[in-house]
Amino acid sequence: MGRSYTYTYHKETLQEWLPLTRIHILIHFIGVLFLCYYRISHLFLHPPSPPWILITAAEVLLSVLWFFNQAFRWRPVSRTPFTDKLPREDKLPGLDIFVCTLDPEKEPTLQVIDTVVSAIAMDYPSDKLAVYLSDDGGCPVTLYAMREAGAFAREWVPFCRKYGVKLRCPRVFFSPMGEDDEHLLHQDAGFKAHRDLIEGKYEKMQNNIDKFGSDPNNVRIVSDRAPLIEIINEEPGLPLLVYVSRERRPSLPHKFKGGALNTLLRVSGFISNAPYFLVVDCDMYCNDPTSAKQAMCFFLDPQTSKDTSFVQFPQMFHNLSKKDIYDSQTRTAFKTMWQGMDGLRGPGLSGSGNYLSKSSLLFGSPNQKNDYLADAEKYFGNSTGLIETMKVMRGQKTSKKSISREEMLREALAVCSCSYENNTKWGTEVGFSYAILLESSATGYILHTRGWRSVYLYPKTPCFLGCAPTDIKEGMLQLVKWLSELLLLGFSKYSPFTHGFASMSIIHSFTYCFITMSSLYAIVFIIYGIVPQICLLKGISLFPKVTEPWFAVFAFVYVSTQVQHLVEVVSGEGSVAMWWDEQRIWILKSVTSIFAIIDAVKKWLGLNKVKFSLSNKVVDEEKVKKYEEGKFDFQGAAVFMAPMVLLLIINIVGFFGGIWRVFNEKDFQEMFAQLFLVTYVMLLSYPIFEGIVTMKSKSE
């Protein structure tokens, strides 16, 4: 166990082998410097050839990315909340939960409702909890389903509290996964009958929603509509349940999910005005009902509360296979990167599973004075009612009088209009940022530059569970979208290379430099996948001979990198097979990220229209079967796979042609490194090659 620091409501523990990690980084850094010296010095000692220039550029870029990447490993920490030490429930602050949905064709309505119901059943005082659903599609089926969910929640919430149910997503509780939960319950004579009764009502709700959604008109997105707010549940003993559909007009910008979240921030100010809120994706149900209290251990801790902006939980999935061939669990992000950032000034903001302080989004820096509200209309818009709710949140005196429910809804509808944010600071200095389409990534970064800190909590029991992509197409669509937007952030006025260095610690800025520039791995791997292979066929050596001292530098850097990765995987309860599979999918994703670079350049030049591509969350049983068998599924991903197919062809030719040439020319020592490289790529790529062949045979 590493050194720990105990606070009032939580404990922070440094990584146990931190000194060894830092020593390894420093030794590896020396090796990287020697490697770069070897490459660059040869440019001046000998007439530089195009292959040598290309491979030097690739290795220098790779070295820079490695350098930024080590910032995540400089001070990783883990945290333990003390929920039993929190104040009594009647002393806990209010909490809002925001769920966003758009298209019932891609985000099945029943899946959305399961998420909403699990949020309503959160282990938190009902009179302090409110759940908001933003329906950005304005679909009739979503409003109907919310009404059905409100009726079901009147039965489900008391049932969960009476028997101490832990799995509060009804779909999970009534599935085989819920059986373990049942054994923990007080199974008195009435429990089974009560359970069967609730299950019958849940099935009735599902059937009603399915029947209503069978009419195509009820699942159609309405892109030209007036705003609508409906308070569905406001009974004593139950959390508030609110449906929100903001105004949408085809000719006016709506700022995608960021705009929807900012609308919820304003609307919730009129209805519940809680100081904290949770953002959760519509397909990620609340798996552990205690997550809110765990987050409050950081927001309410007197030693950390003043400047804590958000608490981030990992995005985890219930449908991961044992092999997880697409690395959907993103171990590197959630077990290495986010924990490493947590030891600096905090992790970035992911799109789901984060609890946020509204004050951090609305009122500037942690030391912002109350005169921030003196020119409130300039920042927040012309709604005096909204400004008064913000004064209440800040503990200031307010002239707001109690108003009727109808008047409150009328004011709330006004802040849902398309034009409300015009000539305000929403999306720039207030609320979620519109700097890029990834509103969460940009917002988390900007909050850090303003002086806020964040917290990362990786509990043993996953607090939120979603459905991971089970084919390469959806994963690649997400990857290209994320990386292109992050690259745009890296070249924007908020760039971590300029704005970040001026506003944050250097080492924390390095983490954001890596995040925004990680798509540049595509350049490295494309050069490494073409140049050495062609040179191998032509007998052009790009690496030192095996007998030369400089060869030891290259060997050391390679082995050191692999050992570091292996230790991180195994120490995180992974396996050697996972280590090998992660390398494969890393190379595949890195090569595919060339499309992210192209997309970012087009957007930067104004050649591409900014549009939001929604991930498809509909489950395809055939794809799930292949995923569970550990077989790559490239159906529909031909475009994304084109660069990888090209590199595989070059490597196959280089492998067999290189072996033939080496045996004939007897220059094994000169060509060993290139022969090793092409062999390594071939071994890694075999399952990918198999998947491509399967895709081609099916298409025929």
User: What pLDDT score was predicted for residue 33?
Assistant: 97
User: What pLDDT score was predicted for residue 261?
Assistant: 97
Sheet holding 464-466, edge to edge: 285-286, 464-466, 316-317
Measured between alpha carbons, how far is 72 from 553 in angstroms, rounded to an integer? 24
User: What pLDDT score was predicted for residue 46?
Assistant: 80
Measured between alpha carbons, how far is 96 from 264 in angstroms, rounded to an integer? 10
Residues 544 and 444 grouped into a single domain: no
DSSP characters over 419-441: TTTTTS-BTTTBSS--SSS-HHH
Residues 66 and 99 grouped into a single domain: no
Mean of pLDDT over the chain: 90
User: What pLDDT score was predicted for residue 25?
Assistant: 97
Measured between alpha carbons, how far is 456 from 313 in angstroms, rounded to an integer? 6
- Other Cβ atoms closer than 10 A to 607: 9
Residues 144 and 186 grouped into a single domain: yes
Asked if 260 and 134 touch (Cβ cutoff 8 Å), the reply is yes
Asked if 377 and 387 touch (Cβ cutoff 8 Å), the reply is yes
Residue 242, domain member (yes or no): yes
Of the pLDDT bands very low, low, confident and very high (cuts 50, 70, 90), residue 425 is very high
Of the pLDDT bands very low, low, confident and very high (cuts 50, 70, 90), residue 552 is very high
440 noted as active-site residue? yes
Task: Select the more confidently predicted residue: 351 or 325.
Answer: 351
Domain's final residue, options 445, 468, 491: 468
- Which two three-digit tokens encode residue 501? 């260095």
Catalytic one of 136, 283, 342, 599 = 136
Residues 328 and 361 grouped into a single domain: yes
Residues 330 and 463 grouped into a single domain: yes
Of the pLDDT bands very low, low, confident and very high (cuts 50, 70, 90), residue 666 is confident
Which secondary-structure segment (H or E) carries 309?
strand 308-312
Measured between alpha carbons, how far is 591 from 599 in angstroms, rounded to an integer? 14
User: What pLDDT score was predicted for residue 686?
Assistant: 79
Q: What is the mean pLDDT of residues 546-571?
A: 95
Most confident segment among 265-279, 374-388, 622-636: 265-279
Measured between alpha carbons, how far is 446 from 360 in angstroms, rounded to an integer? 11
Of the pLDDT bands very low, low, confident and very high (cuts 50, 70, 90), residue 10 is very high
Residue 75 pairs in a beta bridge with none
- Other Cβ atoms closer than 10 A to 63: 17
User: What pLDDT score was predicted for residue 178?
Assistant: 73
- For residue 107, say whether it is annotated as part of any ligand binding site: yes
User: What pLDDT score was predicted for residue 172?
Assistant: 93
Q: Is the pLDDT of residue 1 over 70?
A: no
Q: What is the mean pLDDT of residues 535-542?
A: 93
* Pick from 373, 425, 427: nearest CA to 399: 373
Residue 123, domain member (yes or no): yes
Q: What is the mean pLDDT of residues 539-553?
A: 94
User: What pLDDT score was predicted for residue 633?
Assistant: 74
User: What pLDDT score was predicted for residue 180?
Assistant: 64
User: What pLDDT score was predicted for residue 183?
Assistant: 60
Least confident residue range of 251-265, 319-333, 439-453, 552-566: 319-333
Q: Name residue, tokens 């991961």.
A: 320
Residue 516 pairs in a beta bridge with none
* Distance between first and last Cα of the chain: 57
Residue 148, domain member (yes or no): yes
Residue 252: domain span: 93-468
Q: What is the mean pLDDT of residues 614-632?
A: 69
Q: Is the pLDDT of residue 696 over 60?
A: no
Q: How many domains does the chain have?
A: 2
CA torsion sign for 672, 673, 678, 679 is: positive
* Pick from 362, 393, 170: nearest CA to 272: 393
- For residue 281, say whether it is annotated as part of any ligand binding site: yes
Q: Name residue, tokens 């991180």.
A: 568
Q: What burial class does residue 616 get, using C-beta atoms within 10 Å of its C-beta: 0-12 exposed, 13-18 middle, 19+ buried?
A: middle
Residues 22 and 152 grouped into a single domain: no
Residues 70 and 107 grouped into a single domain: no
Measured between alpha carbons, how far is 351 from 257 in angstroms, rounded to an integer? 10
Residues 326 and 270 grouped into a single domain: yes
Sheet holding 4-6, edge to edge: 4-6, 10-14, 77-81
Over residues 144-183, the pLDDT tens digits come to: 999 999 999 999 999 999 888 889 999 999 988 776 656 6
Measured between alpha carbons, how far is 424 from 420 in angstroms, rounded to an integer? 8
Asked if 386 and 411 touch (Cβ cutoff 8 Å), the reply is yes
Of the pLDDT bands very low, low, confident and very high (cuts 50, 70, 90), residue 313 is very high
Q: Name residue, tokens 């008391």.
A: 158
Task: Please compute, for residue 147, the number of CA atoms within 13 A of its CA located in the half-sphere on the CB side.
Answer: 9
- For residue 136, say whether it is annotated as part of any ligand binding site: yes
Q: Buried b vs exposed e over 489-513: b needs ≥16 C-beta within 10 Å?
A: bbeeebbbeebbbebbeebbbbbbb
Q: Is the pLDDT of residue 396 over 90?
A: no
Domain's final residue, options 453, 468, 483: 468
Residue 82, domain member (yes or no): no
Asked if 381 and 420 touch (Cβ cutoff 8 Å), the reply is yes
Residues 62 and 102 grouped into a single domain: no
Measured between alpha carbons, how far is 452 from 439 in angstroms, rounded to an integer? 17
DSSP characters over 261-274: HHHHHHHHHHHT--
**Angle subtended at Cα 370 by Cα 366 and Cα 376, rounded to the nearest 5 degrees:** 110
User: What pLDDT score was predicted for residue 403?
Assistant: 80
Catalytic one of 118, 440, 518, 685 = 440
Measured between alpha carbons, how far is 274 from 361 in angstroms, rounded to an integer? 13
Residues 382 and 531 grouped into a single domain: no
- For residue 335, say whether it is annotated as part of any ligand binding site: no
What pTM value is reported for the model?
Answer: 0.93
Measured between alpha carbons, how far is 507 from 215 in angstroms, rounded to an integer? 55
Q: Is the pLDDT of residue 473 over 90?
A: no
Query: Which residues lie below 8 Å from residue 68, measured CB to CB, with a gap of 6+?
Result: 510, 511, 513, 514, 517
Asked if 12 and 74 touch (Cβ cutoff 8 Å), the reply is no
Measured between alpha carbons, how far is 192 from 502 in angstroms, rounded to an integer? 62
DSSP characters over 516-581: HHGGGHHHHHHHHHHHHHHHHHHT---S--TTSHHHHHHHHHHHHHHHHHHHHHHHTT--HHHHHH
We report the CATH number of the domain holding residue 278 as 3.90.550.10
Over residues 487-526, the pLDDT tens digits come to: 999 999 999 999 999 999 999 999 999 999 999 999 999 9
Over residues 277-307, the pLDDT tens digits come to: 999 999 999 999 999 999 999 999 999 999 9
Residue 685, domain member (yes or no): yes
User: What pLDDT score was predicted for residue 630?
Assistant: 73
Domain's final residue, options 450, 468, 486: 468
User: What pLDDT score was predicted for residue 325?
Assistant: 79
Residues 56 and 100 grouped into a single domain: no
Over residues 78-112, the pLDDT tens digits come to: 999 999 999 999 999 999 999 999 999 989 999 99
* Pick from 127, 135, 55: nearest CA to 102: 135
Residue 480, domain member (yes or no): no
Q: Is the pLDDT of residue 699 over 60?
A: no
User: What pLDDT score was predicted for residue 85?
Assistant: 95
* Pick from 12, 68, 70, 34: nearest CA to 512: 68
Task: Please compute, for residue 95, the number of CA atoms within 13 A of its CA located in the half-sphere on the CB side.
Answer: 28
Residues 580 and 515 grouped into a single domain: yes
136 noted as active-site residue? yes
Residue 495, domain member (yes or no): no
DSSP characters over 197-255: HHHHHHHHHHHHHHHHHTSGGGG----SB--EEEEEE--TTS-EEEEEE--B-TTS---
Residue 206, domain member (yes or no): yes
- For residue 196, say whether it is annotated as part of any ligand binding site: no
Task: Select the more confidently predicted residue: 344 or 320.
Answer: 344
Q: Is the pLDDT of residue 186 over 60?
A: no
